[in-house]
Amino acid sequence: MIKAGIVGGTGYTGVELLRLLCAHPEVDLAVITSRAEAGRTVSDLFPNLRGACDLAFSEPDVNVLTTCDVVFFATPNGTAMTLVPALLDAGVRVVDLAADFRLKDAAEWQHWYGIEHACPELLGEAVYGLPELNREMIRDARLVANPGCYPTAVALGFLPLIEKQLVDPGQLIADTKSGVSGAGRGASVGSLLAEASENMKAYAVSGHRHLPEIRQTLESVVGIPVGLTFVPHLTPMIRGIHATLYARLSEPADLQQLYEERYIDEPFVDVLPAGSHVETRTVRASNYCRLAIHQPQGRDTVVILSVIDNLVKGAAGQAVQNMNLMFGLEEELGLGAIAVLP
């Protein structure tokens, strides 16, 4: 059994991680920390876990965490980097669901996140945890930077085109929509029912923190700078991401065949039949990304539709997928849930 700990499990990502790990046949969930909720039982805060988790939240204690085989960080940005070096020194493997280790350049990280990085020497070692791109490196990693939700949906949509150099990498567009759970569990006016319901709005058009992460991922494949216009939107649903991606083809190609062949062996990427349209509800509470490929009017613009659950494939599910790889387990273990409808 893998002895697992979670640091900061009181948000939506944290409770999703709890839900998955409590049901995982090879995981012994040993500790979950929260300064604000220390002493409170997990099932008291999250009644859906009653009977599934008998742990209580505790204060973060490195000495306790170092007894784990793996520690997940479901914390705000800037927290994991203060504790990870000690855990790695103790032989603990780490999956960070926040952004502390996603960017390779410390100066760029500071630009986007507003604070100096506490352990820039680890940025080069951290493996970006997109299994469909970095599976073999993840297997051997001590430290995995779990991708963001938007970057997961966007990267999986663009990857086949970028890998085969079939599109102009300087003219990529990602028009993305997310449910309000992507904003976190903290109280804010913008997430109130009266504010978010019956409304849709773009935000961070001038620059979102996920923009450099997406560019870095695509540039690692194509080897040259990528020009990406990335516009996120908030939609009146709880969970889910829908990304509509646009690119200009540089040469003719059978795009349906390209995507089907690229993802044929990927357990959590589902390429729909030609002419299909994806829906966020078809991935709700599952670890799947579903894709549909279009070439409107047969012209040189390709449109890729990509949907994920932002809390599962976009966060906790992908983290468990990475853990499975790191410990030599079947990649799909504990992640076989079918999407819930309605």
Task: Say how many C-beta atoms besides its own lie within 10 A of residue 198's C-beta.
Answer: 8
The token duo for 194 is 């009266």
Q: Measured between alpha carbons, how far is 17 from 97 in angstroms, rounded to an integer? A: 10
Q: What type of residue sits at position 142?
A: R
Residue with tokens 């083809």: 249
Alpha-carbon distance values, 110 to 103, 106, 145 (Å):
10, 6, 16
- State yes or no: is 149 an active-site residue: yes
Residue with tokens 């800037």: 78
Interaxial angle between packed helices 255-262 and 149-163, expressed in degrees from 0 to 180 and rounded to the nearest 10 = 120
Q: Measured between alpha carbons, how far is 42 from 48 in angstroms, rounded to an integer? A: 10
Task: Give the side-chain half-sphere CA count within 13 A for 207.
Answer: 5
Q: Measured between alpha carbons, how far is 296 from 165 in angstroms, rounded to an integer? A: 20
Task: Give the side-chain half-sphere CA count within 13 A for 71.
Answer: 27
Residue with tokens 């999703």: 16
Q: Helix or strand or coil: residue 288?
A: coil
Catalytic-role residue among 53, 68, 149, 289: 149
**Residues annotated as part of the active site:** 149
